[in-house]
Amino acid sequence: MKRMANIDILPMACVGLILVLAMMILAPLVMTHTQTQVDVPRAHTSEIKTEENLTITYTIEGRLLVNDIEILGEELGQVVAEELERDPYQLVIVRADKGVLHNDVLEILASVKKVGAKRIACATKRPKGD
Amino acid sequence: MRRRKRLRFENEPEALIMNSLVDIALSLVIGFIVTIPLFFESGIFVNAPGVAKAGAADVSDIKVNIHLLDDGAILLNEEIVTYEGLTELLPELLARSVARKVIISTDPNVKYEQVITVLDLAKQKGAGQLALLRSRR
């Protein structure tokens, strides 16, 4: 009686493991639209899905960035207006550090609304242990 | 006959134990699935700030106006409430409101995190729309 030949699954398992590790490292980089680190507030509510968006980042140091490009506060309206010309229904996400004053964020939101943004969201993160 | 078979198996290389490798891979995948929502950012849709207008559009609807003070106190429809009180009262008010709109205003020095906490609570309790109010200058 002949024995069936064994398939060597070790290389396959190794490749699978490497793929998993690569995915774990790359996924956050690919899925996050901006590389500027900001400690956004935590919230249980999660409304926005992954889609093409315009990201406005406001750091604790007061730096303002639109899609990772630093701009001055006065330029915000113009820059956002140019972006919205291409797609008026583009989602605008405001990523503000949790330590900044709400009034500063309101100024940003007001500028964005003034130039015609129709969909605006505040970025949040899931609370730990949620 | 039996002896012959045994000899053949003795000459074969030992099979690798794959269980541990598969266990590690599976643990990594599960860990990845569990932790990934913590790393990705989500968000809450808001109605961008508008200045308060004179004259309410619909006076018959139940209003849910929340004002956050600099000292951390919360005013719900002009009355001071605790965070726990807000948690209890919000669902009752929203259940009786048609528009289920929550309007949030703040003092000048309120931190953004406090506002998001209240926005999050309002959404959890069934708010349909969240509006941020900017005081007229």
CA B28 to chain centroid, in Å, comes to 26
Flag whether A99 is in a domain.
Answer: yes
Q: How far is CA B42 from CA A97, A127, B70, in A?
A: 14, 11, 27
Residue B38 has pLDDT above 80, yes or no: no
Return the residue in B23, B41, B117 with the most chain A beta carbons within 10 A, the one to mutate for interface testing.
B41
Tokens of A7: 């398939």
Domain assignment present for A15: no
- Which chain A residues contact residue B43 at CB under 8 A? 46-48, 93, 121-124
* Residues 38 through 97 of chain A touching chain B, CB cutoff 8 Å: 40-41, 43-48, 93, 95-97
The two counts, helices (H) then strands (E), for chain B are 4, 6
Task: Decide which of B13 and A106 is more confident.
Answer: A106
Instruction: Give the domain CATH number at A87.
Output: 3.30.420.270
Domain that holds residue A89: 53-122
| pLDDT tens string B68-99 | 998 889 999 888 999 999 999 988 888 888 88
Pairwise CB contact (< 8 Å): A16 & B120: no
Cβ–Cβ below 8 Å for B111 and A102: yes
- Kindly state whether residue A2 falls inside one of the protein's structural domains: no
User: According to DSSP H, which parts of A1-130 are helical?
Assistant: 10-31, 76-86, 102-114
Domain assignment present for A108: yes
Q: In Å, how far is A114's CA from the nearest CA of chain B?
A: 9
Contact between B121 and B76 (Cβ < 8 Å): no
pLDDT number for residue B54: 45
Total Cβ atoms within 10 A of residue A67: 15
User: What pLDDT is recorded for position B68?
Assistant: 92
List domains and CATH numbers for chain B: 2-39 (no CATH), 47-134 (3.30.420)
* Two structure tokens written together for B61: 């609807």
Residue B40: partners with Cβ closer than 8 Å, 6 or more residues away: A28, A31, A32, A125
Closest by Cβ to B112, choosing from A9, A32, A101: A101
Report DSSP letters for B13-31, one per residue. PPPP--HHHHHHHHHHHHH
Contact between chains at A98 and B32 (C-beta distance less than 8 A): no
Contact (CB, 8 A) for A57 and A87: no
In a domain, A110, yes or no: yes
- The three-state secondary structure class of B104 is strand
Q: Is A106 domain-assigned?
A: yes
- The total of structural domains in chain A comes to 1
Decide if A6 touches B, using CB distance below 8 A: yes
Asked if residue A30 has pLDDT above 80, the reply is no
> What integer best gives the mean pLDDT of chain B?
78
- ipTM of the assembly? 0.74
